[in-house]
Structure 1
Amino acid sequence: MVGIVVVSHSARLAEGVAELAHGMGGADVSIAAVGGLDLPGRPLGTDASLIEQAINRVYSDDGVLVLMDLGSAIMSAELALEALPDDRRAKILLCEAPLVEGAIAAATQARLGSSLEQVAAEARTALTPKLTHLGHGRAQAQPPAELPALAGEARTLTLRVRNRLGLHARPAARFVQTAGRFQAEVRVTNATTGRGPVSAKSINGVATLGVRQGHTITVTASGPDADAVLAALTKLAEENFGDVDEAPPAVSQALKPTIPVGAGDPSALAGLPASPGIAIGPIRRMTTPDVQAPAHLSDDPAGEWERLRAALAQTRRRIQAMQEAVARRADRATADIFEAHLLFLDDEMLLEPARRAIFDRRLNAAAAWQGAAQAAAGQFRALEDEYQRARAADVEDVGRQVVAELLGISLAPTLSGAGILVAADLSPADTASLDTALVKGIATALGGPTSHSAILARSLGLPAAVGLGPAVLALAEGTPAILDGDAGRLFPSPDADRLADYARRAEAAERAAAEARAASAAPAVTRDGRRLEIAANIGSVADARAAVAAGAEGVGLFRTEFLFLDRRTAPDEDEQYAAYRAAVEVLGPARPVIIRTLDVGGDKPLPYIDMGREENPFLGWRAVRMCLDNPEFFKVQLRAIVRVAAEFPVKVMFPMIATLAEFRAARGLLQAARAEVLGRGGPAPERVDTGIMVEIPAAALRAEQFAPEVDFFSIGTNDLTQYTLAAERGNSRVAPLADAFQPAVLELIRRTADAARAHGKWTGVCGEMAGDPLAVPLLVGLGVDELSMSAPAIPRAKQIVRGLDYAAARAAALKALALETPEAVRAALAG
């Protein structure tokens, strides 16, 4: 990190500036204050030897920025520079930026890990906010402080956004997180509308560009990782920024209205379907406190800034806890809604206006933050796209939480009893914190089916209708009602016929779901006695807990990438051991766990390994290929896994295996890692079961040759499908080809399962197909022995298996292999 030296004629002034800069940039920024003469009482003046000592105290290989007030301070700094060794002198920059504003801007930029040149550039533009605020014309010609000009040679690329919802909150968050992993300055412009440029590391900046489906964005990058960040963003765009290529819920098949008996009655309140299901019960109102920050002037701006930072930290912890709770109750993908909320807490488009309000206008922290959040929400509301306009509620929600923390107000919602919750609108935090034992359904006057609250309601299994209008707010507390989430209607005071009709439907649906949940711990055995192991895909301790609760019999895929991404150095062996053990321990000694070794590549680069740029990273140096070329790096992970396998039933799976030579080399490194653990006196199992992820057609086609040497196969249907059809599923033009029900893919699954069985081995499936209710009978018929899926899908998958006859499923699967299209396969299975 760049160090900073503040030089002034006054020792007290220098110390005050350093204290202020620390308050803005953080205690971890290295700042030295030097002022006055080296005499008793430190009289006014400057001393070259004191400046030299200060430079040495904060020196690092990243360099040191020296800021001076005037006159002899500059000459003394130049003398100090002359006294330094040549190698250090080259990394010291005397900067002409204003002392106070420059120190604050430099500290903030240094904390981001920016280069010396970037820190200096930020310091030099530090007067811009003041000039702009006071209306001086020359400020208009300078770049804003939060968006310095790109330094060095810039690289540019153009990307087309195919997402049906554009760059809404979660894709925008992924965009920002990807850009933030690299040492590069990145700018993005909506080339279709002309909005921008904004920093690609600002969640609000990216989201408020208003990027919709079909828009083109221009990304410009400079810095040491410019090529790498552009490659990563290109790959992210090719993957639809992490979005599944599907219609928004407003028009999805699952939410199309189905009008039951009497639905056209004028007594019904008509809105939009947001989450399917039926709820019957009294109207209940949620009480939440009104959060408004009183504005007043403060004579302690640094103290107000510290209060805001403390509130931001506490809000972050609360949101993270909420995220983990949602992951346990629903799934990790739904919990990722809160990633954008966490990014808001670090976003300069919120922090910088709040900082200016506190230090320039001397406003109190709560009012400063509330104003910044309201302004950002206003930018979202000005967008044309309905989905992105709905993100204003997310910004306001985060803003409200921080203000409540500053004011000491509890935001916990309260209800008078069980029933259908009626509200004007709900924030994601409100929805996530609902007690589902009390809340039977949700009916709101405002909102839309694409809101994050609606997404959370669906994932939590709460029926919901939104946009019912102000009439819903006029309903009295305790009014009996029926909520039809499928039709988007609320029936207050229903008559006996309607009540009986909905009661029958609700009872049938609940009975089926309850039967699946109640039997989730029981094994999945077909009617003719064939047992299937139903396992979970996990990537965290929270996922492991959810898997146990859902009835998982093991883990078919433990993703380990979470430990390696978004960091500057690789995790060491002890850190990996602790992380793997923590998750495996939750599952206990009776549930086997398959840990997949690191699966990253050019699309998911590691800053601490030179991965280079590849034209097609999906077909490049990735996963086990990269690991085999870095054996010492790879063995760190393998030793950590071996140590966990000494205590629990852990197996190892190598991804992206194409040849027997690759598998043998990886297995050899695992054996070497085991020997190293034993050699230093550590515990290690006699052997570790070792398998491969079948995701390359070559492995499936040679399954007969692999089977004698592996302990198991696990088929990754996502990648196997796109590699088999040469169709990247994130590319909307070829996405229809990338269908796991393609007969060619089914044939590879059958071939793999048959080869395993012939050699006494077993086959699992860990791709999305494993949890698809329509695919379960097909996969059983194709001969797989294990299905691994997200935790919420487990109870139903088990229930489906119990209703199957294996012989009939086998016959149906073999018939499906003879069909020509995935549509024909689905039709045959549904018929």
Structure 2
Amino acid sequence: MEPQERLDRIVRQIAQNMVAEVCSAYVLRADGVLELYATVGLNPMAVHQTALRLGQGLVGTIASSARPLNLAEAQKHPAFQYLPETGEEVYNSFLGVPILRAGRTLGVLVVQNEAHRAYGEDEVEALETVAMVIGELIAAGELKRLSHDGVELDLNRPVTSSGRALAEGIGLGHVVLHEPRIVVTDLFNEDSEAEIERLAAALSSLRLTIDDMLSRREVAFEGEHRDVLETYRMFAHDKGWVRRLEEAIRNGLTAEASVEKVQSDMRARMSAVNDPYLRERMNDFDDLANRLLRELMGEDIATREEKLPSDTIVVARTMGAAELLDYPRKNLRGLVLEDGAPTSHVVIVARAMGIPVVGQVKGIVALSENADPIIVDGLSGDVHLRPQPDVEAAYAEKVRFRARRQQEYRDLRDKPSVTRDGEAFHLHMNAGLLVDLPQLDESGAEGIGLFRTELQFMVADTFPRAEAQESLYRSVIEAAGPKPVIFRSLDIGGDKVLPYFRSAPHEENPALGWRAIRLSLDRPGLFRTQMRALLKASAGRELRVMLPMVTDIGEIEQARSIINREVQHLSRFGHGLPTRLHIGAMLEVPALLFDLDALMKAVDFVSIGSNDLFQFLTATDRGNPQIAARFEPLSRPFLRALKSVAEAAARNGVSLSLCGELAGKPLSAMALAAIGIRDLSMSAASIGPVKAALLATNLAELRAVIDTAIENDGIATDMQPVIREFADKHDIPYN
């Protein structure tokens, strides 16, 4: 039977069974237009001629909201729009439901009657069930050539989506959905009671599985934290959810189809919710529904890893840092998120693992299927799903070019870090996990300029015990060998929320709130435990501890006092101690810019945290996509501030470094070195490009150019064109 004939038969049968004078099916085209594909009762000449935009008329309203409309007097609804070619003006009552698949609206199914009547709940349920069948017909691509305007409906068409580049790199591979859609092929049941029994058995098995997870010592099974598992258990025992599943079965669906229907309805209705807590609960519900589907279909979750392609690109709505670590690193080529920000925990971990990430790609999960070819461009923020051959070939060449460049950078590893005019510079790498450490030698870094100790806390399900902290720190120190490591004390709070940290308050402005050293000093037990672990792990070696988010010199003195008490305690009980202890501060809060000499006298070293310092100086939330790129860090005011810090450090004989995104970009690294900051810490992947640029730079000449520019109020604030012009003139590589 031809697709059009099949669709015509479906609408006729619906009209007969529901005693409706009209039944119409509208299909959403790739250009966002709902086209009338089949009807009984309306003018047959309107098929493939009538079209509505999303949000236009009653049909467009249903498609945009993904919710049914049940009206006794349709023409009185404010969204009603009269379409003269259809001849529908005589019909008063109206029932329309979205055609959904995996939470994505593919069209609208409508019944109408001349009499004023309200359709019953069972009729709404029946129409939604049939809409699922039409959804599978659309998704199979059978209707793609029927459109009057020739606009594609095929879900396998190439799609390019733009998001935000969150971690550099280019990944070519195949989609692995983090919350994969289970394909349900058997939709209608022959024995409702037998299906309800199957559902009950699967639910019982699911509940036992969750209870088993919670009873283990290591509850982070498949990366979920304990509070998530508790939420799963609550959902799994939710009577309302079970009742909706059973109702769908009694309306003729199989157990699997009932789960998909309830899941799809819930996801569509929650799609417009902006509250992050509610969206997170929806993600929990999605995962639980998928687990139930696997129980019903007999799929072994444990075998999933074995099925991963060697070029896996994970596509997810959102995910935790620990969940990403569940995927074998050797398989990962990239990560695409519907949510995500530069400071998201999972992005920080992915960046540390050297995986390109693009975030804020709306709707990518619904557009993707497992094993779809995909390209992730972590430079431009573009994602190419099912790319055209010429696009794929162009990106393959880009990857080959980057590989050649990386080999050139590797060849620079053993060259002395000296500028063209003989001034030394020092490049260190940022780290936070054991998986980062092999890159220390591979990149040619002189040491670890920033070890983020909070990542161990972010990927754990409970506060790491002292022994676990000590073991990690000792492993880092041993892996670094003679190279120095700067450990940043626990920097949680703000955007770095630990799910198991119950005493963390809700804050209106967490970036300026209870975080970093403020939290550590208010919870001295937590700080003491970490310092004791660091001191014991560093026995016989130098230990460098850096305090984040310092605002007042008194905070440094309080922290030093706590650390000294731990030194005395360990000494009293005969533990080995570091040969030397260096205590430093991160300069992230602008207040310290007006107390620089006092700061330099209070510490052994200073590291500028350029990300936070810049956002606080410019009052720019770097996690807000609307304004994150509004201001340029290489600006006259910011370079003046950084230069004043460099001068104060030199005046007081204190070691100064900078860690943050500025350090890892060749142009900004050149500017930093020119104003006196020649100790930089960055991602391992950035060391090669930065070193290549600095080796080719005459700092004295660049310093003269920059000094003139930042003192000249008559030119533009943005210094980037000045530095780029200098680089171009002297053939300095910076791209």
1:227-246 correspondence to structure 2 within 5 Å: none
CA distance change for structure 1 residues 661 and 514 in 2, over 3 Å: closer, same or farther?
same
Q: Any idea what SS the aligned residue of 2:544 has?
A: strand
Counterpart of 1:274 in structure 2 is none
Quick one: distance in 2 between partners of 1:518 and 1:581? Answer: 30
Counterpart of 1:805 in structure 2 is 698
Q: Any idea what SS the aligned residue of 1:553 has?
A: coil
Deviation at 1:200, TM superposition (A): 4.0
Counterpart of 1:310 in structure 2 is 302
Aligned counterpart in structure 2 of residue 122 of structure 1, from 216, 221, 238: 238
Quick one: distance in 2 between partners of 1:393 and 1:614? Answer: 36
Counterpart of 1:324 in structure 2 is 329
Quick one: distance in 1 between partners of 2:652 and 2:583? Answer: 15
Counterpart of 1:112 in structure 2 is 229
Give the letter for the 2:719 counterpart: V
More off after superposition, 737-746 vs 772-781: 737-746
Counterpart of 2:282 in structure 1 is 199
Quick one: distance in 2 between partners of 1:702 and 1:327? Answer: 46
Counterpart of 1:596 in structure 2 is 488
Q: Structure 2: any 5+ residue segments left out of the alignment?
A: 1-197, 216-225, 267-271, 313-324, 336-341, 726-735
Deviation at 1:776, TM superposition (A): 1.5
Q: Any idea what SS the aligned residue of 2:425 has?
A: strand
Deviation at 1:737, TM superposition (A): 4.7
Counterpart of 2:609 in structure 1 is 716
CA distance change for structure 1 residues 822 and 537 in 2, over 3 Å: closer, same or farther?
farther
Quick one: distance in 1 between partners of 2:549 and 2:351? Answer: 30
Deviation at 1:389, TM superposition (A): 5.9
1:648-797 correspondence to structure 2 within 5 Å: 648-797=541-690
Quick one: distance in 2 between partners of 1:315 and 1:803? Answer: 47
Deviation at 1:729, TM superposition (A): 2.4
Give the letter for the 1:25 counterpart: R
Q: Any idea what SS the aligned residue of 1:201 has?
A: helix
Deviations 1:799-830 (A, max 9, x none): 22222223223223322322457764111111
Counterpart of 2:247 in structure 1 is 131
Quick one: distance in 1 between partners of 2:352 and 2:445? Answer: 26
Give the letter for the 2:510 counterpart: P
1:204-353 correspondence to structure 2 within 5 Å: 305=298, 308-312=300-304, 320=325, 324-325=329-330, 333=347, 336=350
Counterpart of 2:527 in structure 1 is 634
Deviation at 1:114, TM superposition (A): 3.8
CA distance change for structure 1 residues 466 and 658 in 2, over 3 Å: closer, same or farther?
same
- With structure 1 as the length reference, what TM-score do the two structures score? 0.50
Give the letter for the 2:245 counterpart: P
Q: Any idea what SS the aligned residue of 2:414 has?
A: coil
Deviations 1:547-600 (A, max 9, x none): 321111111111122222255531111111122222332222x21111111111
Quick one: distance in 1 between partners of 2:466 and 2:672? Answer: 37
> Are 2:429 and 2:683, in contact at CA under 8 Å, matched by a contact in 1?
yes
Quick one: distance in 2 between partners of 1:787 and 1:677? Answer: 33
Deviations 1:612-650 (A, max 9, x none): 122211111111001100101111111111122225444
Counterpart of 2:49 in structure 1 is none
CA distance change for structure 1 residues 779 and 456 in 2, over 3 Å: closer, same or farther?
closer
- With structure 2 as the length reference, what TM-score do the two structures score? 0.56
Q: Any idea what SS the aligned residue of 2:486 has?
A: strand
Deviations 1:404-423 (A, max 9, x none): xxxxxxxxxxxxxxxxxxxx
Counterpart of 1:396 in structure 2 is 370
Deviation at 1:456, TM superposition (A): 7.5
Deviation at 1:124, TM superposition (A): 5.8
CA distance change for structure 1 residues 18 and 724 in 2, over 3 Å: closer, same or farther?
same
CA distance change for structure 1 residues 315 and 625 in 2, over 3 Å: closer, same or farther?
farther
CA distance change for structure 1 residues 773 and 571 in 2, over 3 Å: closer, same or farther?
same
Counterpart of 1:422 in structure 2 is none
Deviation at 1:696, TM superposition (A): 0.8
> Are 2:426 and 2:679, in contact at CA under 8 Å, matched by a contact in 1?
yes
> Are 1:577 and 1:644, in contact at CA under 8 Å, matched by a contact in 2?
yes
Counterpart of 2:723 in structure 1 is 829
> Are 1:121 and 1:148, in contact at CA under 8 Å, matched by a contact in 2?
no
More off after superposition, 325-334 vs 803-812: 325-334
Quick one: distance in 2 between partners of 1:148 and 1:584? Answer: 52
Q: Any idea what SS the aligned residue of 1:534 has?
A: strand
CA distance change for structure 1 residues 111 and 623 in 2, over 3 Å: closer, same or farther?
closer
Counterpart of 2:506 in structure 1 is 613
Does residue 454 (structure 1) correspond to residue 537 (structure 2)? The answer is: no
Quick one: distance in 1 between partners of 2:352 and 2:525? Answer: 36
Q: Any idea what SS the aligned residue of 2:681 has?
A: strand
Identity rate, percent? 26
CA distance change for structure 1 residues 689 and 327 in 2, over 3 Å: closer, same or farther?
farther
Q: Any idea what SS the aligned residue of 1:667 has?
A: helix
Deviation at 1:796, TM superposition (A): 1.7
> Are 2:547 and 2:584, in contact at CA under 8 Å, matched by a contact in 1?
yes
Quick one: distance in 1 between partners of 2:265 and 2:682? Answer: 46
Quick one: distance in 2 between partners of 1:542 and 1:334? Answer: 13
| Number of residue pairs matched by the alignment | 479
Give the letter for the 1:396 counterpart: N
Deviations 1:168-214 (A, max 9, x none): xxxxxxx6xxx5xxxxxx358xxxxxxxxx814356899xxxxxxxx
Counterpart of 1:521 in structure 2 is 414
1:482-561 correspondence to structure 2 within 5 Å: 484-485=394-395, 514-561=407-454
Q: Any idea what SS the aligned residue of 1:788 has?
A: strand
> Are 1:541 and 1:586, in contact at CA under 8 Å, matched by a contact in 2?
no
Quick one: distance in 2 between partners of 1:595 and 1:810? Answer: 32
1:348-497 correspondence to structure 2 within 5 Å: 388=362, 391=365, 395-397=369-371, 426=373, 451=374, 453-455=375-377, 467-469=387-389, 484-485=394-395
Deviations 1:216-242 (A, max 9, x none): xxxxxxxxxxxxxxxxxxxxxxxxxxx
Aligned counterpart in structure 1 of residue 516 of structure 2, from 613, 617, 623: 623
CA distance change for structure 1 residues 335 and 677 in 2, over 3 Å: closer, same or farther?
closer
Q: Any idea what SS the aligned residue of 2:458 has?
A: coil
> Are 1:594 and 1:653, in contact at CA under 8 Å, matched by a contact in 2?
yes
Deviations 1:519-549 (A, max 9, x none): 1233311133221110001121121212321
1:89-168 correspondence to structure 2 within 5 Å: 112-114=229-231, 118=234, 122-123=238-239, 125-135=241-251, 159=274
Deviation at 1:798, TM superposition (A): 1.3
Deviation at 1:701, TM superposition (A): 2.5
Quick one: distance in 2 between partners of 1:515 and 1:628? Answer: 46
Counterpart of 1:347 in structure 2 is none
> Are 1:324 and 1:542, in contact at CA under 8 Å, matched by a contact in 2?
no
Deviations 1:716-772 (A, max 9, x none): 111111111112123355435543112221122111111111122111110100011
Counterpart of 2:478 in structure 1 is 585
Aligned counterpart in structure 1 of residue 468 of structure 2, from 575, 582, 595: 575
CA distance change for structure 1 residues 614 and 304 in 2, over 3 Å: closer, same or farther?
closer
CA distance change for structure 1 residues 761 and 613 in 2, over 3 Å: closer, same or farther?
same
CA distance change for structure 1 residues 316 and 592 in 2, over 3 Å: closer, same or farther?
farther
Quick one: distance in 2 between partners of 1:111 and 1:735? Answer: 31
